[in-house]
Every structure is written in C-alpha cells, then in structure tokens.
Amino acid sequence: MATCGEYLVQILASHGIDTIFGIPGVHTVELYRGLPNAPVRHITPRHEQGAGFMADGYARASGQPAACFIITGPGLTNIATALGQAYADSVPILVISSVNNSHEMALGEGRLHELPCQRNLMAGLTAFSHTLLRPDELPAVLERAQCVFNGARPRPVHIEIPLDVIVASADHLSRATTTTRAAAAPDREAIRAAAKLLSAAASPMVWLGGGAQDGPVEARRLVEALGAPVVTTINGKGLLPPGHPLSLGSTIPQLPVLDALAAADVVLAIGTEMGETDTLLFDGALRLSGKLIRIDIDPEQLTRNAMPAVAIVSDAKTAMADLADALDAAGHKANPPLARITALKAELAGLLDVKQRNHAKVFAVLQTVLPGVIIVGDSTQPIYSSNLFYEPEGPRSFFNSSTGYGTLGYALPAALGAKLAMPHRPVVSVIGDGGLQFTIAELATAVELGLPVPILVWNNQGYGEIKRYMAERGIPQIGVDIYTPDFQTIARGFGCNAVEAQSLDHLAGELKKATTASMPTLIEIDEARALGW
C-alpha cells in the first residue's frame, strides 16, 4: 500500500520540487518513508528557522519553490519567523507539517506537540493554510499551492496533515498533475491609458520592484523606449545592468530621489509595495504630485501606500512587454534626460558617508573577484549601505533580510539554500556578529554538505546599527554592546575554514580560496581594522 505520505513525495517531484528541508521527528517520520524512491533530496538543517531561511534563499536565487517538512507544534513555531520574512518579500515556500490525529485535534488533552490550532497560527504567515482531512484532497491542494507560486503573488503555503491521514492509503489517487502556470495578463484598455499618460509626460520616472525580477529583458526594453530615469527597490536590483545610463539604482530613500519622484509628472511603479522599508519614510507618507501608474499581480496591492490614476492587474513581465509595444505603436520618441540623471548620480554618490564608502570597497572586491556572485545579506551595517550603492550583474543576485520583515540571522542559512539552488555560481553570506549568533549552528549543515560558501562576518562587537540609531535619538545605548565570542575558533570547531581579513587584497585572496574549497570559510572582518582600508 502507498500511504498518503509516500504519495506526497512522489507528487512533489512531479510538481518540480526537488529539495526538501526538514528535521525528522516522531510525527513526521512517515513522510520520510517514500523519500528513497522519489527524485528529491533532503537537507537537514539544525533548526526549523534555518529550514525556512534555506528554502527562502533557494527560491530567491532560483525562482522555484522548495519544500519544508516540519514537525507538529514547536517545528511550526520555530519556522514562523522565516515564513514572516518570506511572506513580506513574496517568496514561495511550501511547508508541509504534521498535526495530531484528526480525532484528537483541538481537544486540549495534552497530546505531544499540541497547539490549539496550528492552521490559525500559520494563516497570517502564508497565502493559505490548509488542514488535509482526507488523502483525496491532496492533489487539488497541491495544485492550489502551485497556482499561488506560479500565477499569483508568490508567498508561502502551509499544508498540515494529521498523523492518521499521513498513513492512510493513497493507492487510488492519480499521479498526474495539471499545474496552472499562467499569470494574469493586463487589460488592453489600461495598457493604452498608461501608454498615453507616459507619452504625454514631460518628466516621467520608473520604479521597479521585486515583482518585476523575472523580466529583465522586458524591463530594459520598456525603460529605454520610455527614456525615463529608473529606480529600483532592493528586491528589484539587477533588472538593469550595472552602469545603465537611465538607472539611479536602489537609491529611493535618498532625499534627491524622493524629491525627483515628487516632482515627476508621471510615475510608473511595477511590482512594488512602495513600502517604508524601501523608501525609509518611517515617519511620513510618500509625496507624489504627478499621476501614478501601478502594475501588480496582487490587486489588493494596487491601492496601498499610494493611489494610482491607472491600475493594472498583471504579471509584470507580460505588462512591461505590452506597455513597450503600446509606446512603440503610439510613436513615442524617447528623450532621456541624461545630463540630469548624471548630475543626480553624482549628487547621490556625494551623500555616501565614510563608513558607506568603506563598505563599498568591500563589495567592489566581492564583485571583482567573484563574477556572477550571489550576495545574501543580513540586517547588518554593510548591507544597509550596499542597499544604496551595490549594482548586481542581474536579478536574483542580491537579496537580504534588512527590508520587509527585517529579521536577524537570515544570511547564513539563506546563502546555503541559494548555493544548493545555484551550485555553479559563487554565493557569499554577509552577516554581522550579532546576527550570526542567531543561526550559527547552521555552520554544521554547511560543513555536512561540503558547501564552499564564504561567510563574511562584519564584527563591530554588538548590534552596531541599533546602537547608532539609539545614539542619534539620545536614547541610552543599553543592550547593544554584547559579548562577542571567538568566531574563528567556533567555526573551526564546526569544521569550517576560518580567517580574519587583514586588508582588501587579503580579502580578495581568501575569497578566491573559499569558493574552491571543499567546505565553508568564515572570513571575519573587524570593523575597526576595516575602516582604515
């Protein structure tokens, strides 16, 4: 007899999911029975939060979801933070969890791992959370998850399976899948209205978000046809190549760019929340005096933070192609304000402070030494800086946890997930000494897998960004100067290589060695030393 748990791993593979992150427990062991006979690999992290972050990094780097097998109760509460980050940044993750027997749920009888209602817990962190009460529901529920991943705003999905359902027979279920992958196409009249507004605009601007990251070719064609300056969110980085004459990079929080957006007579915003973590407008609303055109796969997002004159529900890639076609059909002639853009770029470069310029030197080494690098960052000072200046070679090459949900400890496990997804590309984790202590146990996972991932640890002996924030506001700096362990000794104890970078040249050499090693390498950068580089 094929159980529901065995059927699950077979159908996951048919949906294109080839990697599962999970820590086996007494409630999930029956999910593992069928793994040897399925074309999927299982990765064991050291914490369920690490599992979620690995799946997040896997999806961001590849564009494809991974799955997590999570134990009832504490497994779900452990992965919740990772799902919060993925939900905020529209990242697809499939979480399969166990739950107590269907006849024992919500009775409060003190069962192992029991929660009053796991589905309610997960509902606010996922596109949907479903309790599977019969094996017969599983094909349709997995198809529904694929529709979220491929045809809507991608976000985590949670499916919980009671212990008695996991072992129930699934012999009668079909192995065929019919996944819907088509996303929404734009309304023709709305595209024409947007093209008309843009053609008549004297000073338009384009704002590209992470929702557009699968359409770099279409994005470039559109902005060049329009001839307008372009800004991106952090998750939209790489949509235009480094140094593109129309690109202002991800400098939206800088006052000159906010002023330019306010002065633009038309702003075209594609696949972006226009949220406070990209604008850093924590104490005020975005100022837009001109007309706004918004394109988003999520209809509810079209009216949040700023009301549009034209709202288009669509997959960004399709809409950008159609809008470029409409501009061509209307005979629009691009007249890019290159002198103004060049002057604005120079002004923005002059706003970088000493620390940010120092961080830029480190990232220049990363990009020079490791062509095609994927940089995975934490909430740490060099990442906050690089959010403003770093220009990756393409999309899905730079992402971090400092925006959206804004968690700590993300970069190490997420980098491991990215490397598993893209084994032929160099992947670097950039994390602070405070953040690393959240998930340092995942060094063991990296060693076990033999992943040659350089882990750059920016060590300022505490929570440096929060310390600065408190100091600027005259708040006593309590709780931010924390004990800093000997990371190199700890890393070697896990089986990693470990070294402290002495200079930029030394860093370059260690990075080269790290990406060809048979294990991860922790490269510590002492902030006090690095500020003199």
Looking at residue 282, what is its pLDDT?
Answer: 75
According to DSSP, residue 258 is labeled H
Report helix, strand or coil for 3: strand
Please report which confidence band the pLDDT of residue 401 belongs to, taking 50, 70 and 90 as the band edges.
very high
One-letter-per-residue 3-state SS of 466-486: HHHHHHHCCCCCCCCCCCCCC
Q: pLDDT tens digits for 166-195?
A: 999 999 998 887 766 667 899 999 999 999
Structural domains in the chain, CATH included, are 4-166 (3.40.50.970), 188-347 (3.40.50.1220), 352-530 (3.40.50.970)
Q: pLDDT tens digits for 82-134?
A: 999 999 999 999 999 999 999 998 888 899 999 999 999 999 999 999 999 99
Q: Average pLDDT, stretch 423-431?
A: 98
Q: How far lies 398's CA from each of 354, 362, 372, 441, 475, in Å?
A: 23, 15, 11, 23, 33
Q: 224 CB contacts (<8 Å, ≥6 apart)? A: 246, 334
Tokens found for residue 240: 């235009």
Query: Considering only 58-62, 311-315, 436-440, 479-483, which range has the smallest mean pLDDT?
Result: 479-483
Backbone angles phi, psi at 311, to 5 degrees: -120, 130
Q: The tokens 């009249």 sit on which residue?
A: 189
Q: 421 CB contacts (<8 Å, ≥6 apart)? A: 19, 57, 58, 59, 61, 62, 64, 66
Looking at residue 241, what is its pLDDT?
Answer: 97
Which DSSP string corresponds to 86-100?
HHHTT--EEEEEEES
Q: Which amino acid is at 227?
A: G
Query: Considering only 130-139, 176-185, 257-266, 394-403, which range has the smallest mean pLDDT?
Result: 176-185
pTM of the model: 0.96
Name which residue leads in pLDDT, 18 or 282. 18
Rounded distance between C-alpha atoms, residue 27 and residue 98, angstroms: 6
Q: The tokens 């919060």 sit on which residue?
A: 84
According to DSSP, residue 209 is labeled -
Looking at residue 179, what is its pLDDT?
Answer: 62
Q: Which amino acid is at 141?
A: V
According to DSSP, residue 290 is labeled S
